[in-house]
C-alpha cells in the first residue's frame, strides 16, 4: 500500500511547479554575482523569484533577504535585538526559543493563544524585541498578530513574526500589519527544503549573521542557492489560500469521526481559531510516539510534536504551556493536511486510526485518571449507555 502523507506542517511535498522550475535552472552555470551573461541570467532568475515570494506576502521585493531556512531567518531577525530585551511567547518554535535563552516568555491561554494582557505588561518594561509566531506549528492555533503588532508599536518595541505556518494559508495584509521582521519558509508552501526568507522593514536594525560577501545587499553573505530560490518562487506563485481553506471540511470531519470513536480524545486548541489543515490529537493513555510508529507501519505519515524535535522522547513544550500534564502532552499526534491531500486519504487514515485504537485501547474507565473532569464525565456517561 502506498504511504499517505499527512505531515504537511513538517514539510510539504514539493509542488510540481517548483520541481520543474528547479530542474530548469540546475544546469545554469552562472553565479548571480558574476557580470557575464550566465551570471546575469542567474541573477534574473533570483530576482524573479524574489518578486514572486514578495507578491505572496504583499511586501516590496527589496525587503526580502533569502536565507538557508526559516530557522536562519528567525536567527537573523533576533540578532536585531542588540540593547533590547527579547520577549517571546511560551509556544514559539525551537529556533526562536533556543536562540534566545534569556528571553522573557509570555504565557498563553489553555487554547494556546498568547495572553495579550500579560504581553502588554511585559512590553511596558522597557525597550524590547517581541517575537511571536503567526500560527503554531503543532496545534494550528492562529495568534492575534495584528493586535500584537499594534501593541508593540505603542510600546516602541520591534516586532518579529515567524509566519512560516501562515504564509500561503491565511489571507492577511502583511503590509498593514507591518512587522519589522517576517519569516517565510519555502518548504512549508511546497517549495524546496533549505531555503527561507526574512522580510525586513525599511529602517529596522539588522546585524548580518554571515559576512564576507556582497550578496543580498550585504545583509547575508554567501552565493545564493539559485535552484532553491527559483523553486521557492515557483511555489509561492501557485499558492491558493482559498483552496487551502477548503481543507477545513476534511479536518473537521476527521476530528468528528475520531471523537465519536474515542470519547476521551481531545483536540488541542479546538476552542481557538486554527488554520484549516491542522489537528493536534490528544488520546489519553496512548503515547504519541507509539501512535506515530503504528501508523507508519500502516502506511500513514504523521508526527508527534515538532518535526524539528524528531528523535527526542519529550513532551511538547507547546502543550505543556497550554496546561496539559506531561502524560497528556506525551499522548499527542499532529495530523496536518496540505495541497496534495485527498478526501479518500483522510478517510483511510481515520479508518486505520480507529482500528489501531480499538485493538490497543484499555477500557474507557481505565483511562479516566488522565482525563479532565469534563472528559471523565463524558466517558462515564458513554460507558453507562453501552452497558
Tens digits of per-residue pLDDT, 305-342? 654 554 554 679 999 999 999 999 999 999 999 999 99
CA dihedral 210, 212, 213, 215 (to 10 degrees): 10
Give pLDDT, residue 100: 82
239 is catalytic: no
* Residue 280: all three cell numbers together: 493536534
Give pLDDT, residue 233: 98
CATH class belonging to 4-10+242-386: alpha beta
> CA 351 to CA 345: how far, in whole Å?
10
Give pLDDT, residue 370: 46
- Output the pTM of the full model: 0.90
Burial of 216: CB neighbours in 10 Å, binned 0-12, 13-18, 19+: buried
CB 11 within 8 A of CB 187: yes
Give pLDDT, residue 311: 52
CA dist 335 to 6, 48, 112, Å?
6, 34, 17
Distance of CA 50 to the CA centre of its chain: 21
Tell me which CATH code domain 16-238 carries. Answer: 3.40.640.10
Q: What residue segments make up the domains of the chain, in order of their start?
A: 4-10+242-386, 16-238
> CA 340 to CA 71: how far, in whole Å?
25
* Residue 144: all three cell numbers together: 492575534
Give pLDDT, residue 382: 36
* Residue 381: all three cell numbers together: 456517561
Catalytic residue among 106, 161, 280, 308: 308
Residues of the chain with pLDDT under 50: 1, 307, 310, 313, 363-371, 375-387
- Contacts of residue 340, defined as CB under 8 A and 6 or more positions apart, other chains included, come to 5, 12, 13
Amino acid at each position: 500500500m502506498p504511504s499517505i502523507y499527512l505531515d504537511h506542517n513538517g514539510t510539504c511535498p514539493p509542488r510540481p511547479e517548483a520541481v520543474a522550475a528547479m530542474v530548469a535552472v540546475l544546469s545554469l552555470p552562472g553565479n548571480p554575482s558574476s557580470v557575464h551573461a550566465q551570471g546575469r541570467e542567474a541573477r534574473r532568475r533570483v530576482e524573479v523569484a524574489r518578486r514572486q515570494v514578495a507578491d505572496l506576502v504583499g511586501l516590496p521585493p527589496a525587503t526580502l533577504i533569502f536565507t538557508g531556512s526559516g530557522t536562519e531567518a528567525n536567527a537573523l531577525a533576533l540578532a536585531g535585538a542588540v540593547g533590547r530585551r527579547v520577549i517571546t511567547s511560551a509556544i514559539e518554535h525551537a529556533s526562536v526559543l533556543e536562540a534566545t535563552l534569556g528571553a522573557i516568555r509570555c504565557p498563553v491561554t489553555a487554547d494556546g493563544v498568547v495572553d495579550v494582557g500579560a504581553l502588554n505588561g511585559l512590553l511596558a518594561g522597557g525597550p524590547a524585541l517581541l517575537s511571536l509566531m503567526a500560527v503554531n506549528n503543532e496545534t494550528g492555533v492562529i495568534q492575534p498578530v495584528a493586535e500584537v503588532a499594534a501593541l508593540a508599536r505603542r510600546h516602541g518595541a520591534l516586532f518579529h513574526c515567524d509566519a512560516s505556518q501562515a504564509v500561503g494559508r491565511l489571507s492577511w495584509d502583511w503590509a498593514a500589519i507591518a512587522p519589522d521582521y517576517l519569516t517565510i519558509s519555502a518548504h512549508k508552501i511546497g517549495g524546496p527544503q533549505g531555503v527561507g526568507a526574512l522580510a525586513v522593514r525599511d529602517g529596522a536594525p539588522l546585524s548580518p549573521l554571515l559576512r564576507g560577501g556582497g550578496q543580498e545587499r550585504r545583509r547575508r553573505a554567501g552565493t545564493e542557492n539559485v535552484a532553491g530560490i527559483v523553486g521557492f518562487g515557483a511555489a509561492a506563485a501557485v499558492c491558493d489560500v482559498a483552496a487551502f481553506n477548503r481543507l477545513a471540511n476534511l479536518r473537521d470531519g476527521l476530528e468528528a469521526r475520531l471523537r465519536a470513536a474515542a470519547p476521551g480524545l481531545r483536540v488541542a486548541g479546538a476552542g481557538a481559531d486554527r488554520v484549516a489543515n491542522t489537528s493536534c490529537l490528544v488520546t489519553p493513555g496512548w503515547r504519541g510516539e507509539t501512535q506515530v510508529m503504528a501508523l507508519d507501519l500502516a502506511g500513514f505519515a504523521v508526527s508527534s510534536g515538532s518535526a524539528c524535535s524528531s528523535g527526542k522522547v519529550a513532551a511538547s513544550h507547546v502543550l505543556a504551556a497550554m496546561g496539559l500534564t506531561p502524560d497528556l502532552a506525551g499522548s499527542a499526534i499532529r495530523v496536518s493536511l496540505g495541497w496534495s491531500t485527498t478526501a479518500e486519504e483522510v478517510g483511510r487514515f481515520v479508518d486505520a486510526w480507529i482500528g489501531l485504537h480499538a485493538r490497543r485501547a484499555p477500557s474507557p474507565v481505565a483511562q479516566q485518571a488522565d482525563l479532565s473532569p469534563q472528559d471523565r464525565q463524558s466517558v462515564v456517561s458513554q460507558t453507562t449507555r453501552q452497558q
